[in-house]
Amino acid sequence: MTLFSAILFSVFTSAMFFIKGQFFAGSGTTDLLTYFQSVPYICIIIIPCLCYKTSISVYDDFIPQSRLKKIWKAFIKAFIPYAVIIFMMLPVCLLIILFGSTDPGQIFTSFICLLFYGACLISLCLFINELIPNSIAAFTVSAIILAVFNSIHNITLYVNTPAFITAICKELSFAWHFDAASKGIFDTRDILWLLLWSAFFLFAAYFTAEFRRGFKPNKKQNIFFSLILYIFILSLAISANLFTRLDFSKNKSYSVSAYTKNIVQDLDDTLNITYYRSGSLSKLYPQIRDVTDFLNSFSILNKEIHFTIKDPDKDSTTKSMLENYGVTSQQLQNTGLNSTEFINVYSAVVLEYMGNVQLIPFIMSSQTLEYDLDIRLKNLISKKNIAVNIIVGNGMTLSEDYSFIIPWLNSQGILVNPLFIEDPSFANNLAYTTGPLFVIGDDKINIENAITIENYILNQNQNAIFAVSPYSAAIEDNWSLTANKWSNIVEMLENWGLRFTDKIAADISCARITMYSDDDHKEILNYPLWPSLMPQQNSPLGMTLFWPVCLELSQNARPYLVTSSLGYNYQTDKASPSKLLETNPFLVKVDDAVNHERGSQIIGAQITGPLTGLFNYGSCQSSNIIVIPDQYFLNTTMTGYIGGDFGDYRNFEFLSNCILNLNGEGELAKLQSKTKRDTSLYKINDFTQLLHLMYLVYAFCFVIIPIIYVVAFITTRIIRNKRRININD
């Protein structure tokens, strides 16, 4: 049974992660959550197998040992193989490092939680074994009960249960107790819950065995048993209210940072934080608990902070107040057994300080909560919002062609001031504003507009981001590249120390796009002209650019974004202005890279230091200019191509990160990406490498590990037989 359980466990968990999860088919991730989440399902079989009563167990009553000691030995006999099986998951976790980055903290806390989880299930199965004498019946009942426990949290998704039933389902669910560990958090509530139930089931097994043998407790023993039950219930209650959360995640993602502690010390008056949370959310999403826990941790940093939780669904006055704040409910889909319904829920945080209010309209996890709180608290204390001025200079619009920019920045606590070059008052509007400038495209920016923009940067000593290129792509048509009619901003930037070359960057690490033919034929292609940047200093999560121009730098310009070391470039053909470059994804192949010299290409630059005007006589002694030679990396249509099923917002995170840095909020910029991890397979550069690693993983998971188990089993049997022979001799 033990050998069968070990091999089945290894094969099942590996198959669920690599095969069902399509690890090698485009859906691969280095996040090991799904790997660990498959454990409870296979435990439905292997835990009853490890605890299975053999035919010789009927003679246990004749062994001269106390019943408690026998049960403890049975527990150890099942737990040790289980622990070995769990630890054999570690080599598979280490294999993932070949593909990308993992979080050691997540691995550590997940292993700890799984060990305590196994101890709890083993104790439960031993109790059932004592309760049901028949081995097969006990095995069947154990498997059924474990299956119920592993899926009990789904009941609240499909059935509208009363509050106390919902609470019971959450308490009995493994998913709820594993949620914190899966993020790299050691939460004593979850561990003590598993530990206490393990002890309870072991004692229940002992008492059941004693009662089966005819044991009848006297009055003192009844009091003793009642006392144990009381201590158990009290311990459960205490562990749920007095708890500790230790953050083992890679970047201490769920701990309050030193930056936050410093901001909180600047409070001169009471800060009221109110979390408006619908009661229905707590029964649907375990991560909601993390929001409450973090807000509690935040509130104890300063005695001036008052934190309360309110349920708008129970109070119409509260709901009306939220509507006055501009907070509306969000609609979530709830799928039942025979129907699908949509429920309206609130999960908003309101900060009130000295008569001013800042809002987090909707939040579902604590992943970005620290940043959201800090930027809004900073705005409240300074009474000044972080802002950016945006100019679209390529004939497109913020409302349609770049429709995600304003909502995204507003959600990040950054105000947007759009400026329009076609407005006759453009020069005056820009002159009377302050803050960093963000210019997208320049082929519609005439010389007068360019003079105004340069004058703003030089005379007001302002920072700026430029997403410009000397070429435009027909993104709604055949993607052909053409030279821009006007390139005034490009010329201005070249005067400041960089040159836009006539080469388009490409990379083996690139976006994968799905193309459809007229006959509905689908083909997934790697498109090298859309480089997928690996995580780097100025883009911690990586990002994707579209036909970026290679840059050459001089003076005070330095690289800001680069391709991988396997990057290369395509030369544009100036003799064919209507088609400077072949952009057809069926014709431009990654395999063409063998015909190009490989090396990192500069596709982003930063200019600092003194600047001298090209169109103006002015100058400035300090500057911070970021240049991205791609006007489409935030375009709604283009980001839709790379978004997949869940969206890819790394380009927008890069933008907000740049704006924060240009506003002098470098610490906030670091905090923004604190909880984000790159879980892509960024270490894979080509299909051949992926194929080789796939064979390695499959050989290790489905051949080598089972062989290790077989060899260990045979070796153990040989050693045991030798010992028996020596004893007999």
- Amino acid (one-letter) located at 34: T
Host H or E run for residue 719:
helix 705-728
Cα–Cα dist 316/325, whole Å: 14
The DSSP annotation for 174-243 comes to HHHHHHHHHTTEEEHHHHHHHHHHHHHHHHHHHHHHHHHTT----HHHHHHHHHHHHHHHHHHHHHHHS-
**Residue 312: what are its φ and ψ, rounded to 5°?**
-65, -25
Band of pLDDT at residue 59, cut at 50, 70 and 90: very low
Whether pLDDT at 99 is above 70: yes
Mean pLDDT of 347-365: 88
pLDDT for the residue 242: 76
- Amino acid 28 reads G
- Residue 49: its H or E element: helix 39-50
In the prediction, which pLDDT does 629 show?
97
Displacement of CA 526 from its chain's centroid (Å): 24
In the chain, % of residues over pLDDT 70? 90
Nearest-Å Rg of the Cα atoms of the chain is 31
Percentage of the chain beyond pLDDT 90 is: 36
Report whether pLDDT(348) > 60.
Answer: yes
Give the pLDDT mean for 681-694.
80
Mean pLDDT of 259-278: 89
pTM confidence score: 0.77
Across the range 131-144, mean pLDDT stands at 88
Residue whose token pair is 């048509």: 477
- The angle subtended at Cα 331 by Cα 328 and Cα 335, nearest 5°, is 160
Element holding 408 (H helix, E strand): helix 405-411
Give residue-wise pLDDT tens across range 311-335. Answer: 888 877 888 888 887 788 777 665 5
Distance between CA atoms of residues 183 and 287, nearest Å: 10
pLDDT at 165 over 80: no
pLDDT number for residue 436: 93
**Residue 56, pLDDT score:** 47
Nearest CA to 628 out of 611, 653, 603 is that of 603
Q: Are strands 543-544 and 522-533 parallel, antiparallel or unpaired?
A: antiparallel
pLDDT at 23 over 90: no
Q: Quote the CA–CA distance of 338 and 463 in Å, as a whole number.
A: 57
Q: Cα(10)–Cα(3) distance, rounded to whole angstroms? A: 11
Coil, strand, or helix at residue 498?
strand
Do residues 604 and 627 touch, judged by C-beta distance below 8 A? yes
Q: Is the pLDDT of residue 337 over 50?
A: no
Distance (Å, whole) CA 720 – CA 710: 15
When pLDDT is cut at 50, 70 and 90, the band that residue 437 belongs to is: very high
Residue 163 has pLDDT above 80, yes or no: no
Of 259, 282, 63, the residue nearest 166 (C-alpha): 282
Query: CB under 8 Å to 200, separation ≥6 — which residues?
Result: 123, 232
CB–CB of 664/462 below 8 Å? Answer: no
Amino acid in the structure at residue 75: F
Among 75-84, 265-274, 716-725, name the one with the lowest average pLDDT: 716-725
Instruction: Give how far Cα 615 sits from Cα of 411, 457, 492, 496, 625, Å.
Output: 37, 12, 8, 12, 17
Q: What are the tens digits of pLDDT across the range 447-497?
A: 999 999 999 999 887 899 999 999 999 998 889 999 998 899 999 999 999
Most confident of 284-288, 528-532, 647-651: 528-532
**What would the two tokens of residue 668 be?**
């906030």
Residue for token pair 């979390």: 275
Write the pLDDT tens digit of every residue in 36-50.
Answer: 988 988 999 999 999
Phi/psi of residue 628, nearest 5 degrees: -115, 115
The tokens for 424 are 């006759």
Phi and psi at 664, nearest 5°, equal 80, 20
pLDDT at 722: 73
| 595-647 confidence digits (pLDDT tens) | 677 889 999 999 998 999 898 888 888 889 999 999 999 999 999 988 876 67
Task: Please report the pLDDT score of residue 361 as a whole number.
Answer: 86
Decide: 158 and 146 in contact? Cβ < 8 Å: no
Q: Evaluate if residue 578 carries a pLDDT over 90.
A: no
Rounded average pLDDT over 570-583: 82
Which range (155-164, 195-204, 497-506) has the least confidence? 155-164
Q: Averaged over 554-568, what is the pLDDT?
A: 91
DSSP code for 727? H
Pairing of strands 498-507, 567-571: antiparallel
- Mean pLDDT throughout 264-268? 87
Measured between alpha carbons, how far is 710 from 698 in angstroms, rounded to an integer?
A: 18
For the segment 513-536, the average pLDDT, to the nearest whole number, is 80
The label of the residue with tokens 């009927």 reads 58
Residue 441: phi and psi, rounded to 5, are: 75, 155
Q: Which residues neighbour 536 within 8 Å (Cβ) at sequence distance 6 or greater? A: 542, 561, 562
Backbone phi, psi, residue 562, to 5°: -135, 155
Q: Which of 420-434, 548-562, 571-585 has the lowest mean pLDDT?
A: 571-585
Q: What DSSP string runs through 55-66?
A: GGGGGGGGSSS-
- Per residue in 210-244, pLDDT (tens digit) is 777 766 777 776 777 788 788 888 887 887 777 78
